[in-house]
Amino acid sequence: MTSPKIILKKYFGYSSFRNGQEEIVNAAVSGRDVLVLMPTGGGKSICYQVPALTLPGCAVVISPLIALMNDQVLSLQANGIPAVAIHSNQDERINQDNIQKASKGEIKLIYISPERLLLDIEQISSRIQVSLIAIDEAHCISQWGHDFRPVYTSLGCLKEKFPGTPLMALTATADRLTRNDIANALNLEDPFCWTGSFDRPNISLKVMNDPGKKQRLKIIASLIEKYHLDSGIVYCLSRKKTEAMHEAISEMGYRSVCYHAGLTPQQREMAQKAFVNGDVQVVCATIAFGMGIDKSNIRWVVHNNIPGNIESYYQEIGRAGRDGLPAEAIMFYNFGDIILRRTFVDSSGQKDINNEKLDFMQRFAEASVCRRRILLSYFSEEVTHDCGNCDNCNTPRRKFDGTIAAQKAISAVIRVKYQESLNTIIDILRASTRSDIISKGYHLLKTYGAGRDMTPAEWNSYILQMIQLGLLEVAYEDNFHLRPTPYGMKVVKGMERIQLSSYEKPVYGAKSKKLKPEPAPILSPDEQLMEILKKLRKDVSSTQNIAAYMVFSDATLAEMVRLRPVDIESFARISGVGEVKLAKYGKDFIGEIRKFEGLKRTMPIGTSQKETLILFDSGMTPEKIAEMKGIAVQTVYSHLIQWADKGKITDFRRLVTESQYSLVVKTFDTDPENAFKTLAEVNHLPAHIIRAALAEQRFRSQ
């Protein structure tokens, strides 16, 4: 059995496991059930892919995301791994053919939807040697999870149907109830449990009280410009809002796409492709976007509306910065969204749970302490210090005496007889001439216009704080009208004073007054090379008809930019360069880097015998090596024979066949004088094959 570590480099090009991966892989390889809890981007796929390649037989991977199965399969195939998908979105003949291939032992991984697995379970268990069953997105089995799928509950039968086959359940959902549910529902036997840290310290967290539509767009524009080579996601609450956002962003001159459940599968696929390939800078999406996308250079995520629970929020921001480089998550918090969400929740099946989850989300948005601490404690992780990478850590807000502001707001609330909600109160304070304000006679109130000195955004922030501080309350049951509390009444009467945190004007976008894209910025040398490599990747991926990230991930390109490998040897060491990709793409990428570095594009011919050995060790045939280096196959053989004589090559079957070897040995035995001539002229053996056979003989007689 090849060791997992060698498999990791050979197929995936990674030289070390990430935290937890090795333990998980070892447990599965030793036949134990495993429960993996790792955040998005933590590297869950490797946890079952490496055991699948280590163990004899074929691993079955259950995933609910049919749309993405083919992508995963293509990614694996790009690394030279025989993988297939079985699901209802493809021709039945292909499905049957795939089962057939797997039963012949030609496949190492099958991706399958749960429905389909249950349908074919007898066939699969009797015909295929199943090495491991991985259940991806395992939280779908739990009623507590945010993404319950009834079909998952039937997976409880796997343990019985595949006795002795290790099960591996994987999820990025971390709350304790869900965890326990997964292990129980799947009947895992004494599982090895791995809980990775859910901390993603590279993502900075920020929540902004809704600064208004124009400012929001400015902020988004400044993010696009700040990360002009990379991309971001704007999550919106509804399809309609998604489309409006997409239009607004396009109007500013940026490249954006829409993604939501109302699109046809083809439209969705196109949008996803455009995003993954880097053709667009922004995707405006509902929550339906992003599951399973392996795009490591998403640099920012904006929540245009508050998500319904922490789990969703965390998964969504987790799509940014999967490469570990700095990323930003910004959420716009508008109290109206909470109101809207409450109405969703009330009509949902699990009102109590969902209300509680929304409460927590709201508390997070309104918090004035370290946000990461709130998040991690939600996932039951112990945190002892502030993160230093969230808005509350970085800009603890200045406090001021807010008594007068509170008195103005509360008296407006009193004067409208508790019949209005937040926005109307602000409008009254700011002397809006909206028709309903006038028709209700609010312009005659004493407080009308009393708050002209502050912007709507400021008032929004301060009234929210008044609610949090318990001066005002929201009548959820009565159209969200505001009411003063007894404490609020004391403040109005001047019996109590209060402190408010001063409103910080968003600093984003401050420099660009106009909502217009700025001229293309001047690129640093690293950025220039990155662009060149991305362009090459795009060309390669279009000719091969695969997604760009399947050629090389951005993290891999970034390492190329950093290390600038100009020969095969250093190129092979880049993380993400496995043997198949080395052979397929090495020459082109090295060529571009060489050119950029002012070297001749082609590698100096024959200078490096070592290169030949590296390529040979990475699994390439001598013919392929010759083709790649642009030298004769005879020359490759002469390099390899020298290495063989130094003891560096022992697998001679890759140079000569057994029968060629026997023939050479026999001929030299019987007639050493004329052997070479006979073999060449009578047996038509090329000279380099004869020499390789002789090298083998020398090796054997040592």
Residue numbers at the binding site for ligand ADP (CB under 6 A):
14, 17-18, 21, 38, 40-46, 294, 296, 322, 553, 575
* Amino acid letter, residue 347: S
Residue 553: which of Zn ion, ligand ADP, none does it interact with, CB under 5 to 8 A by kind? ligand ADP
Token pair in block for residue 345: 């929740």
CA dist 206 → 344, 366, 466 (Å): 25, 11, 21
Residue 72: which of ligand ADP, Zn ion, none does it interact with, CB under 5 to 8 A by kind? none
Least spacing, CB of residue 320 vs ligand ADP, in Å: 12
- How far apart are the two ends of the chain, measured CA to CA in Å? 27
Residue 18: which of ligand ADP, Zn ion, none does it interact with, CB under 5 to 8 A by kind? ligand ADP
Residue 258 is a binding residue for Zn ion (CB under 5 A): no
* Closest CB to ligand ADP among residues 234, 558: 558
* Closest CB to Zn ion among residues 120, 386: 386
Nearest residue to 541 via CA among 589, 594, 574: 589
Least spacing, CB of residue 322 vs ligand ADP, in Å: 5
Least spacing, CB of residue 614 vs ligand ADP, in Å: 20
Residue 40: which of Zn ion, ligand ADP, none does it interact with, CB under 5 to 8 A by kind? ligand ADP
Residue 629 near residue 605, CB atoms below 8 Å: yes
Least spacing, CB of residue 169 vs ligand ADP, in Å: 13
Residue 296: which of Zn ion, ligand ADP, none does it interact with, CB under 5 to 8 A by kind? ligand ADP
Nearest residue to 42 via CA among 363, 287, 321, 453: 321
Q: Which one of residues 34, 37, 84, 390 is an interface residue with Zn ion (CB under 5 A)?
A: 390
- d(Cα 573, Cα 560) in Å, to the nearest integer? 10
Residue 393: which of Zn ion, ligand ADP, none does it interact with, CB under 5 to 8 A by kind? Zn ion
- d(Cα 75, Cα 77) in Å, to the nearest integer? 5
- d(Cα 663, Cα 645) in Å, to the nearest integer? 21
Residue 393 is a binding residue for Zn ion (CB under 5 A): yes
Residue 44: which of Zn ion, ligand ADP, none does it interact with, CB under 5 to 8 A by kind? ligand ADP
Least spacing, CB of residue 17 vs ligand ADP, in Å: 5
* Closest CB to ligand ADP among residues 170, 375: 170
Residue 587: which of Zn ion, ligand ADP, none does it interact with, CB under 5 to 8 A by kind? none
Helical spans, DSSP H, in 55-175: 66-78, 92-103, 114-119, 121-127, 150-153, 158-161
* Closest CB to ligand ADP among residues 243, 294: 294
Least spacing, CB of residue 293 vs ligand ADP, in Å: 9
Residue 111's SS3 state is strand
Residue 17: which of ligand ADP, Zn ion, none does it interact with, CB under 5 to 8 A by kind? ligand ADP
Residue 294: which of ligand ADP, Zn ion, none does it interact with, CB under 5 to 8 A by kind? ligand ADP
The residues near 455 (Cβ < 8 Å, ≥ 6 apart) are none
- d(Cα 567, Cα 570) in Å, to the nearest integer? 6
Least spacing, CB of residue 396 vs Zn ion, in Å: 10
Least spacing, CB of residue 311 vs ligand ADP, in Å: 14
Q: Which one of residues 58, 102, 387, 626 is an interface residue with Zn ion (CB under 5 A)?
A: 387
Least spacing, CB of residue 657 vs ligand ADP, in Å: 37
Token pair in block for residue 124: 């699969």
Nearest residue to 183 via CA among 156, 160, 161, 148: 156
Sites for Zn ion among residues 345-384 (CB under 5 A): 370, 372
Residue 390: which of Zn ion, ligand ADP, none does it interact with, CB under 5 to 8 A by kind? Zn ion
* Closest CB to ligand ADP among residues 6, 438: 6
* Closest CB to ligand ADP among residues 232, 290: 290
* Closest CB to ligand ADP among residues 46, 188: 46
Cα 648 vs. chain centroid, distance in angstroms?
A: 40
Least spacing, CB of residue 196 vs ligand ADP, in Å: 9
Residue 257 near residue 246, CB atoms below 8 Å: yes
* Amino acid letter, residue 281: Q
Residue 118's SS3 state is helix
Q: What is the dihedral of CA 26, 29, 31, 34, to 10 degrees?
A: 50
The residues near 192 (Cβ < 8 Å, ≥ 6 apart) are 23, 24, 27, 32, 33, 34, 35
Helical spans, DSSP H, in 379-500: 391-394, 403-415, 422-429, 435-439, 456-469, 486-492
In this structure, how many other beta carbons lie within 10 angstroms of the beta carbon of residue 130? 21
Residue 20 near residue 196, CB atoms below 8 Å: yes
* Amino acid letter, residue 365: A
Residue 283: which of ligand ADP, Zn ion, none does it interact with, CB under 5 to 8 A by kind? none
Least spacing, CB of residue 323 vs ligand ADP, in Å: 7
Residue 243 near residue 285, CB atoms below 8 Å: no
* Closest CB to ligand ADP among residues 40, 389: 40
* Closest CB to ligand ADP among residues 43, 232: 43
Least spacing, CB of residue 247 vs Zn ion, in Å: 35
* Closest CB to ligand ADP among residues 134, 474: 134
Tokens 């807010």 locate to 402
Total residues in contact with Zn ion, by rule CB under 5 A: 6
The footprint of Zn ion (CB under 5 A) covers: 370, 372, 386-387, 390, 393
